[in-house]
Structure 1
Amino acid sequence: MRALAAAAFAGVVVAVLPATAALAADPKPDIVVTSATDKASYAEGETFTITVTVKNKSSVDAKHVHYTGGDSEGVDGIVYGELSTGFDLAAGATKTVQLTGKTNHQAWRYGRGYVAFELTAENGEANDADNTTGVALLVPGAFDDLSGYVFQAESHDATWTPQTPGVPGVKVVATTADGKTKYAEAVTDAKGLFRLAHLPAGDVLLTFTAPAGWKIMAGENGEHDQTPAQISANEGDEPSIFVTAKKVAVSSPSVSPSASAGPSLPVTGDNTTLIVGAGAVAIALGVALVLVARRRRVHLQA
């Protein structure tokens, strides 16, 4: 019986192997998608055009390449055109298509909107990592304030409460997300509160500089002194940024000899107290001898 079972199993394996090899040998299209906007920025309600470049990196033709899903924000009336109806793309070929839409008031409030989507072929996809794309649509013009707290804690993920002691004297600087352009700066008050006025809607970077004796614990793991923030118009004045700081030891600066003090005496190991004392006695004796000699000279002249 065992021999029959083994033979049967071997037969199944032999039958499956060719099918598995055939599946492995069946290549699929490899769709690569990139996209770009027609302008660097837009006004609220302005029409935008996104040029989409689609390339088939595979050695097999891609059948019915089409839009399969995506997401968008701050835009209305997107028309995907050929990306919705679909098209064939030969092996190694590249095709450009366009989609259009309009920015809306939400894009103005947040300083940007975005469009992201995925394309695939009807006969499969060899690599899901490069068949998605997206663009940001910058819509400048809105401004708002930003405020927050720097408070005392031992961990970066501590929770702020109105009773939590703040850290005063922390300098907070707001810049563009890449840190190249400065927008505003502020210093935390006695409660650790800071306010940054008239920041442009969109993404900003906050950099914190604490006074001596404090360490900022910002970022995802509390290992940095910077944190990103998003400015949204008409959001109100409630603080929205909370950063922790903990007390650290302050190292004392080492005291070095002053350059104006001149060269120091070499250390020889001799008893300098005796040497100094002997010198003082010799000086005193010399002064006395001079005075005696002068007195005798005066007496002889008289």
Structure 2
Amino acid sequence: MRALAVAALAGAAISLIPAPAALAADTKATITASATADKTAYAETDTFTVTVKVTNTSSVDAKHVHYIGGDSESVKDVVWGAIATGFDLAAHETKNLPVTGKFEHSAWTHGYGGIAFSLGADNIDGEGAVTGVQLNVPGAFTQFSGVIFQGESVSSPYEPGKTPGVPGVVVTAKTNDGKTVLGQATTGADGTFKFAHLPAGIARLTFEAPRGWKVLSGENGNGTPEQVQVIAEEADIPRVFIVAKQVPVPSDSPSSSPSPSVSVSPAAGPPLPVTGSNTTLLAVAGVVAVAVGAGLVLIARRRRVRLEA
């Protein structure tokens, strides 16, 4: 919400302002809103209840607070109640209002549904209040594959069957918050990698390239994690295409001393094998909400490259 700009006056100038003008600044209300789901995870057949907390943070009554726009993902039969019809909110008052609905099948295949919306009032100050919530619907698992191919920049084109891939790149899939590892895969000779069993939802991919290569992942190709959407019941074809660029290999300094060996405690257990494009499922976790800026991100971006026939 855009903050109210307040002019700063000093000294004798303050005494020159008439009382009515000072009071005029208090005719607009300011509200905030937040949304909370009644469960951390749902089944596809569940009915969800979202509690919307609306607070009037000003000293002026907010008149006819109401829904003014929004979006939803993989939900249906949403009942907005008083948020749709409108309600008054006294100065410094808070109301908790329910919003209910059901899930479409796509909530299960995507791993989540969600709502995002904006509230306004007849005498609101600024742009109103924006809030939203992601509703996790875990349970679906699917394969997910992609290609790491050779290029010079993030805009390099990929021509299936002709553009050379980059073998030996270790790809790690994590939950969207980056806290839980879901699996690892390694690119084969053609640059393809495949996870055989990932939970539907939003995942983040990180890349460990062989010596002499840099994977141009992330929004601007700066090597940050790649956010992808894992969707069940889709065809088993590559869903993400990422460029890797050759970089100079620094020469080893003759004065460098060898690194000390590191012993591994037997309690740690043997390392997990990662070969070819095979996938090892390390952990399973539910998808997490993604709160960005003023609303809810309901669909993760996919890597877009220029494909050439």
Residue in 2 that maps onto 1:181: 180
Q: Deviations over 1:250-296 (max 9, x none)?
A: 1121123889xxxxxxxxxxxxxxxxxxxxxxxxxxxxxxxxxxxxx
* TM-score normalised per structure 2: 0.73
Q: What letter matches 1:169 in structure 2? A: G
Q: What is the one-letter code of the residue matched to 2:138? A: P
Give the stretch that moved more between structures: 203-212 or 64-73.
Answer: 64-73
Which protein has the larger Cα radius of gyration, Structure 1 or Structure 2?
1
- Counterparts of 1:115 and 1:76, CA distance in 2: 10
Question: What residue ranges of structure 2 are gaps of 5+ in the alignment?
Answer: 1-17, 259-309
In structure 2, the partner of 1:267 is: none
Deviation by residue 1:147-191 (Cα, 9 ceiling, x = unmatched): 111111110121211211111111111111122211111111111
- 1:38 is the counterpart of 2:38: yes
The alpha-carbon deviation at position 249 of structure 1 amounts to 1.1
> What percent of counterpart residues are identical?
54
User: Is contact 2:26-2:59 (8 Å) kept?
Assistant: no
3-state SS of paired residue (1:239): coil
Higher relative contact order (CA 8 A, sep 6+): 2
**2:137 aligned with 1:139:** yes
Q: How many residues of Structure 1 are paired with residues of Structure 2 in the alignment?
A: 238
1:96-140 Cα deviation digits (max 9, x unpaired): 1111111221100100000111111122x2132x60110000000
2:213 equivalent to 1:214: yes
User: 1:154 matched to which residue of 2?
Assistant: 152
Structure 1 segments unaligned to the other structure (5+ residues): 1-17, 260-302
User: How much has 1:25 moved relative to structure 2?
Assistant: 3.5
Alignment partner, residue 168 of structure 2: 169
Aligned residue type for 2:158: W
> In structure 2, do the counterparts of structure 1 residues 65 and 201 end up closer, same or farther at CA, with 3 Å as the change threshold?
same
Q: How do 1:83-98 residues align onto structure 2 when only pairs under 5 Å count? A: 83-98=83-98
Runs of 4+ in structure 1 deviating by more than 2 angstroms, as ranges, are: 21-27, 255-259
Deviations 1:20-52 (CA, angstroms, capped at 9, x unpaired): x79974631111111100110100020111111
Q: Deviations over 1:217-259 (max 9, x none)?
A: 1111111152011100011111011111111111121123889
Quote the RMSD (CA, aligned, Å).
2.0
Report what 2:102 is aligned to: 102
Distance 1:61 1:225 in 2: 46
Question: Which one has a larger percent helix, Structure 1 or Structure 2?
Answer: 1
